[in-house]
Amino acid sequence: MKICKFENLSDGAKTRYLANLGGSSFQQRVEAAEDYGVIPTKDQYLSGLMDRCVAVRLAWAQREDITPSDSEYELGLQDGDYIIKEAWAEREDIEPNDKQYAMGLMDKSAWVREAWAKREDLTPTLDQLADGLNDVSLSVRKIWMRRKPRLEKHLGSVDEILARKEYVEVLSEDELHDDNFESDPTAEDESIDESIDEINDDEFEDSELI
C-alpha cells in the first residue's frame, strides 16, 4: 500500500479525502479514519479523536500507525465511552506514563480496568497490584491473581498491603483458572450491549451520540 501525507496528495485525492473526513454520515468519516494510505494532518487527527460518533473515534483510536501526543492520548483515556478508553488501553505500541497508567487502573469501567490489567508489558506498583487483587470486578481480580506470582518476584510480597484491606472475595484455584466463571456486570457497564449495537447499526444517527 502506498502511504502519503495529506499535504502531498493530488488535488483530486485531497477533495475525495476531505469529503469523507467531513461527511455528514458517520460511515464516511469512519472510511476516512480507516484509510491507512493517508497520514492526516495534526488538526485532522485531533478532529477525528473528538468526533461526536463513537464509531469514528474508535477507528481513529485503532490507528496504530499514528502516535498521539500526550494530550491526544489522555483525551482518549478520558473519553466518555468505555469502548474508546478500552481501545486506547489495548494500544501496546504506546507506553503510558505513571499518571496515565494509574488513570486506567482506576477507571470506573471494569472493562477498561480489565484491559489495563492485561497489559503485561507494564509493571504496577505493589499498591496498584493490591488494588487490582481487591477490585470489585471478579474478572479484573482473576487477571491480577494470575499475574501475582511473577510480579511478586520483582516487587516483593503484596500480602502485607492486602492484610490492611477488606478483601472482596477469595478465589479458589478452580475459579481462578475457569474462564467461564465470571461475575455479574458492574452497574457502570450496563450500557455495553447498547453501545455495541449503536456502532454496528447502519441506521444509527450521529446525533444520538454525545
168: which residues sit within 8 A by CB, 6+ positions away? Answer: 134, 135, 136, 141
Which of 21, 25, 24 is CA-nearest to residue 203?
A: 25
CA torsion angle 42 43 47 48 (round to 10):
-30
CA torsion angle 84 121 94 101 (round to 10):
60
The answer to whether 133 and 105 are in contact (CB under 8 A) is no
Tell me which of 46-50, 79-83, 136-140, 164-168 is least confident: 164-168
Q: What angle do CA 109, 110, 113 make, to 5 degrees?
A: 95
pTM of the model: 0.79
Q: Span 81-107, mean pLDDT?
A: 97
Q: Look at residue 203 and tell me whether its pLDDT is greater than 50.
A: no
Work out the pLDDT band at 167, boundaries 50, 70, 90. Answer: low
Grid cell digits, residue 129: 497490584
Q: Span 30-49, mean pLDDT?
A: 97
Phi then psi for 5, rounded to 5 degrees? Answer: -65, 150
Q: Span 80-103, mean pLDDT?
A: 97
Phi then psi for 4, rounded to 5 degrees? Answer: -140, 140
Q: Look at residue 186 and tell me whether its pLDDT is greater than 50.
A: no
pLDDT in tens, 64-83: 999 999 999 999 999 999 99
Grid cell digits, residue 195: 453501545
pLDDT in tens, 4-30: 999 999 999 999 999 999 999 999 999
